[in-house]
Amino acid sequence: MSSRKVFTQSFILVSLTSLEVVCGAPSIYLDYVRSNLDPKISVAAQNCYKVAKGAFTGEISPAMIKDSGVDWVILGHSERRHIFGEGDQLIGQKVAHALESGLGVIACIGEKLEEREAGITEEVVFAQTKVIAGNWMVWAYEPVWAIGTGKTATPEQAQEVHEKLRAWLRENVSEGNAESVRIIYGGSVTGANCKELAAKVDVDGFLVGGASLKSEFVDIINANA
């Protein structure tokens, strides 16, 4: 399977006791990837729909994902929001159904460049968070202006948003949720910048795009070890 044919989103999750690596593959490759990848590495779908079944041509359900032996799904990715027009409410419905179906969810949030420049990053991120904040999952902060552009949020910028997001969860959900949730960073993560980002106290791993197809992905994994 040539990397030129595959749109990947892989992620690295860190907790107090373990490190997990998950490969996010397009839906038509889920069974292939799960069958051929080392069992120590989990697999994620890149999207799913909000209901179990029905006349929704082209969509996949959590049940289909689980039938492929896959136990994660990525929801709310910036491209789903800004290219395919998925709003906060729809993403919230997708998250709720995926969790009810037993999938692990990585929920993506983040602001566009004009929103950061307007000083409303927190407003945007908290609004995206609000519709799904009562659920236990992994959060991925991915500033839209840093995805595939070569621009990366500085470690300080990433830490600032992660810290404020954790504080928001503490105030609006629970202390337990805020302390146990894993908040990972996505946005042009590379072997060159991963160590500085990983050193930040509230950065619990990475959502990695293009670099997950390169040998430097090993360096990114090791930066979290």
CA distance readout (Å), 106 to 109, 125, 150, 219: 10, 15, 23, 22
Phi first, then psi, for residue 105 (nearest 5°) are -120, 135
Helix (H, G, I), strand (E, B) or coil at 145: helix
- Tell me the C-alpha distance between 193 and 94, whole Å: 32
**Which candidate, 84, 183, 83, places its Cα nearest to that of 133?**
183
Question: Using CA atoms, how far apart are residues 97 and 86, in angstroms rounded to an integer?
Answer: 16
**Active site annotation includes 163:** no
| Catalytic residue, candidates 20, 77, 111, 162 | 77
Residues 196 and 155 sit within 8 Å (Cβ to Cβ): yes
Tokens of residue 170, six digits: 């503490």
Other CB atoms within 10 Å distance of the CB of residue 106 = 26
Residue 115 designated active-site: no
- Rounded distance between C-alpha atoms, residue 123 and residue 125, angstroms: 6
DSSP structural state of residue 20: E
Name the catalytic one among 20, 97, 142, 162: 142
| Catalytic (active-site) positions | 77, 142
